[in-house]
C-alpha cells in the first residue's frame, strides 16, 4: 500500500512507519521537557527516506491533524494540516496498537506544583459548528481510540483537573475578599466519592453555591467528553448553581472554559450507551 505525498511521489508503509515513530519520539521528548532539534531530526529522516525537508514537515503536520482528532496533544510548531489518507491512518494505528503509553502523558512533569498555581482564566466556550464529514477510515480510528472514553477512564488526569479547579476557586474567592467562603470550598468527589453529579462545591462572591463538574483532557478545546445522566439531570435541576468546567491542553498548561445550563445550547448531546435491565 502506498500514499501520495505533496511532491507527487509515493510513501510506502515502511516510510510511513519510520516517520510516525520519529514523530511520536519527538512528542515524548517534548512532553518530558527534553530538548531536541527539529531540523536535525528532519535531516535524519531525509537520509532514511530520500524525502525533501518540506515533504517531511508536511507529513508531520498531517500526523498532528490525526492526533487532534484523537484528542491528543501534538508537537509544537507542527500545526495540524488535514490530509487523512488511508495509508497514514494505518501507520498511526499500527503504532498506537503497540504503544498504549502514548495516551498517558507524564502529567507530573508538566503540572507539578499545581496546588500553588493561581486562578484559572476562564475563556469563552467554542461555538457549536456543523459536524464535519470525516472519511470513514478516520471515523473508525477515532472510534477505536475514543478520546472521550479514554479521558473518562484516566482517573489521574481527572483528579489532577479537579485539584486544579479546587485551588483556583479558593484563590478566586480570596482575591474577591471572601476568605471565609474560600475555606468552605469542598472537593466533593475526593471527600465523598463520585455520585453527587458534580466534583467541586464552591461559591460566588455573593455567597451563592457553585456546583462544578470538571472535565479534563490533554486534547484540544473541541475534544469531546462524556456527560453522565446524573450530571445531566443535575444541570436541569440546578441550572443556577451547576456549571461544567472544561479543562483542555492540560499537560501543556491548563486552559479552561465554562458551560452553563441548558447544556444543549452549548454542546451537541448524543446518547452514548444504554442501560439493560429485565424489568424488575
Residue-wise pLDDT for 116-164, tens only, equals 568 999 999 999 887 778 999 999 999 999 999 999 999 999 999 999 9
| 115 within some domain | no
Query: Is the peptide bond preceding residue 262 cis, with omega within 30 degrees of 0?
Result: yes
243: exposed, middle or buried (Cβ count in 10 Å: 0-12, 13-18, 19+)? buried
Domain that holds residue 256: 122-265
- Same domain? For 247 and 134 the reply is yes
Q: What is the pLDDT of residue 3?
A: 56
* Bridge partner residues of 10 (DSSP): 4
Q: Looking at the predicted structure, is the pLDDT value of residue 110 above 60?
A: no
Provide the terminal-to-terminal Cα distance of the chain, rounded to the nearest Å: 54
Q: Alpha helix locations (H) across the chain?
A: 13-31, 38-49, 53-69, 86-98, 107-110, 136-144, 147-153, 155-175, 179-182, 188-191, 229-237
pLDDT at 6 over 70: no
Q: Is the pTM of this model over 0.85?
A: yes
Could you tell me if 138 and 245 lie in one domain?
yes
Same structural domain for residues 89 and 170? no
Whole-angstrom Cα distance, residue 227 to residue 197? 10
Please indicate, yes or no, if residue 109 is contained in any of the structural domains.
Answer: no
Do 130 and 259 share a structural domain?
A: yes
Question: Do 248 and 147 share a structural domain?
Answer: yes
161 and 196 assigned to the same domain: yes
Mean pLDDT across 168-197: 96
Structural domains in the chain (count): 2
> Which has more pLDDT, 279 or 97?
97
Last residue of a domain, one of 103, 132, 166: 103
Q: Which residues of 87-111 are buried (b: 16+ CB within 10 A; e: fewer)?
A: bbbbbbbebbeeeeebbebebeebb
Predicted confidence (pLDDT) at residue 196 exceeds the cutoff of 50: yes
Choose the final residue of a domain: 103, 132, 167: 103
Q: Residues 154, 28: one domain?
A: no
Q: Are residues 256 and 138 in the same domain?
A: yes
Give the Å distances, CA to CA, from 171 to 187, 250, 260, 267, 269: 14, 19, 21, 29, 32
Kindly state whether residue 276 falls inside one of the protein's structural domains.
no
Residues 148 and 237 in one domain: yes
Asked, for residue 141, whether it belongs to a domain, the answer is: yes
Identify the pLDDT of residue 192: 94
Quote the pLDDT of residue 272. Answer: 76
Average pLDDT, the chain: 91
pLDDT recorded at residue 7: 56
Q: What is the phi/psi pair of residue 2, to 5°?
A: -130, 165
pLDDT tens for residues 211-252?
999 999 999 999 999 999 999 999 999 999 999 999 999 988
Q: Which residues of 128-153 are buried (b: 16+ CB within 10 A; e: fewer)?
A: eeeeeeeeebbeebbeebbbbebbbe
Same structural domain, 151 and 246: yes
60 with 155, same domain?
no
Let me know whether 65 and 155 are in one domain.
no
Amino acid at each position: 500500500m502506498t500514499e501520495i505525498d505533496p511532491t507527487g511521489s509515493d510513501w510506502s508503509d515502511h516510510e510511513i512507519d519510520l516517520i510516525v515513530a520519529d514523530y511520536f519520539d519527538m512528542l515524548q521528548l517534548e512532553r518530558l521537557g527534553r530538548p531536541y532539534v527539529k531540523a536535525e531530526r528532519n535531516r535524519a529522516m531525509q537520509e532514511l527516506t530520500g524525502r525533501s525537508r518540506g515533504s517531511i514537515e508536511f507529513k508531520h503536520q498531517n500526523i498532528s491533524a490525526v492526533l487532534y482528532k484523537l484528542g491528543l496533544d501534538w508537537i509544537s510548531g507542527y500545526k495540524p494540516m488535514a490530509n487523512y489518507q488511508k495509508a497514514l491512518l494505518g501507520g498511526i494505528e499500527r503504532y498506537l496498537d503497540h504503544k498504549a503509553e502514548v495516551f498517558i502523558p507524564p502529567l507530573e512533569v508538566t503540572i507539578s506544583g499545581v496546588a500553588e498555581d493561581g486562578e484559572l482564566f476562564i475563556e469563552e466556550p467554542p461555538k457549536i459548528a456543523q459536524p464535519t464529514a470525516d472519511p470513514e477510515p478516520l471515523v473508525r480510528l477515532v472510534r477505536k481510540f475514543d478520546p472521550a472514553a479514554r479521558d473518562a477512564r484516566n482517573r489521574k488526569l481527572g483528579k489532577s483537573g479537579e485539584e486544579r479547579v479546587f485551588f483556583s476557586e479558593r484563590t478566586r474567592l480570596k482575591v474577591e475578599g471572601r476568605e471565609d467562603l474560600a475555606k468552605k470550598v469542598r472537593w466533593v468527589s475526593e471527600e465523598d466519592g463520585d455520585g453527587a453529579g458534580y466534583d467541586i462545591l464552591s461559591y460566588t462572591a455573593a455567597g451563592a453555591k457553585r456546583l462544578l463538574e470538571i472535565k479534563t483532557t490533554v486534547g484540544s478545546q473541541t475534544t469531546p467528553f462524556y456527560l453522565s445522566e446524573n450530571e445531566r439531570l443535575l444541570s436541569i435541576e440546578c441550572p443556577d448553581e451547576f456549571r461544567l468546567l472544561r479543562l483542555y491542553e492540560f499537560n501543556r498548561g491548563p486552559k479552561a472554559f465554562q458551560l452553563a445550563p441548558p447544556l444543549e445550547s452549548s454542546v451537541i448531546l448524543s446518547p452514548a450507551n444504554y442501560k439493560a435491565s429485565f424489568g424488575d
